[in-house]
Amino acid sequence: MKIAFFDTKPYDLTYFEPMGKDVGIEFLFYETKLNERTVELARGCDGVCAFVNDTVNAAVIDALYSMDIHVLAMRCAGFNNVDVRHAEGKVHILRVPAYSPYAVAEHAMALLLTSIRRIHKAYIRTRDYNFSLNNMVGFDLHGKTVGIVGTGKIGRVFADICRGFGMHILAYDKYPTEMEGVTYTTMETLLRESDIISLHCPLTEETRHLISYDSLPLLKKGVVIINTSRGGLIHAEALLDGIKSRRIGAACLDVYEEEGDIFHEDNSGHILDDDTLARLISMPNVIVTSHQAFLTTDALCNIAETTTANLVSFEATGASENEVLISHI
């Protein structure tokens, strides 16, 4: 099988190249992202492999179909960047539903601890021999209330971690399931009562801008908001206003609504056109990481394993248990 692999980073080569060789898949690695202009690079291949910030819209799907390419393996869990409805009957979309919920949940907690204990500030200060503690006061997590939106694989691991810290746990999920030590409630109560809110639901039409201008007046003053899920869950300008008005105490963002052409790339030395992102990054109480919550050796290994297994299964049977179906959206 010959697979065009878009948005390649050095860590992808480490895992995908040897695993592909083992199962007879030749990956053609392209650094460029997949979109209407680059899809032509896939001509002559049997399939395509794409990631979170590739564009898989109707035009890209039609182009693949016209090149007789009928399988696209997403090497991630989310598929909000894929027009699944348009792909039906043309291109099979495969994905990696679970590779390490621990990687993402642990990153969410790392961001939270960094933010509230000012570790990012301390690191810079002590390197400059500045040992002052001014403006470094944090707060205990023990006894605080965390609101978790989405208690699937990642949300549940995050809840377990929070329980270990002695926190009270509120949760909101469209499909709640029993969980020890977790109290399900409405989204409104979660917004009103949480000291910390962590988002772990997928980005859908329903969840877009879950945190918006409408949410701001409901939030507890000083709330810490963590988003390791998808940028579109938060209206970024509303978040910025919430921070400027001091209603939101801190934000920990691994994802950003307009991250597409910015995250995962070295933009140092460039002028950032996105004023909202620039302003967010300039805030002392905002931490931004570059959609890296998944980036552990364990997760990368699992991603490569499942992606190649999905392709092998598709080649052998025309199907994969990890196909995205219309019923999933």
Summarize as ranges the residues that interact with ligand NAD (CB under 6 A): 77-78, 98, 101, 104, 149-155, 172-175, 200-203, 206-207, 228-230, 254-255, 291, 293-294
Residue 92 or 95: the one with the smaller Cβ distance to ligand NAD is 95
Q: Catalytic annotation on 107?
A: no
Contact 51, 6 (CB under 8 A): yes
Residue 39 or 159: the one with the smaller Cβ distance to ligand NAD is 159
Of the residues 107, 156, 200, 230, only one is catalytic, namely 230
Q: Beta 47-50 vs 286-288: how paired, if at all?
A: unpaired
Of the residues 291, 315, 321, 328, only one is catalytic, namely 291
Q: Catalytic annotation on 259?
A: yes
Min separation Cβ 97 and ligand NAD, Å: 7
Sign of CA pseudo-dihedral 267, 272, 275, 281: positive
CA distance 42 to 29: 10
CA distance 310 to 290: 27
Give the full edge-to-edge strand order of the sheet including 71-74. 26-29, 2-5, 47-50, 71-74, 92-94
Min separation Cβ 271 and ligand NAD, Å: 26
Residue nearest ligand NAD, Cβ-based: 152
Residue 28 or 185: the one with the smaller Cβ distance to ligand NAD is 185
CA distance 107 to 173: 21
Residue 14 or 62: the one with the smaller Cβ distance to ligand NAD is 14
Min separation Cβ 211 and ligand NAD, Å: 12
Select from 114, 173, 166, 131 the least CA-distant residue to 149: 173
Annotated catalytic sites, by residue? 230, 259, 291
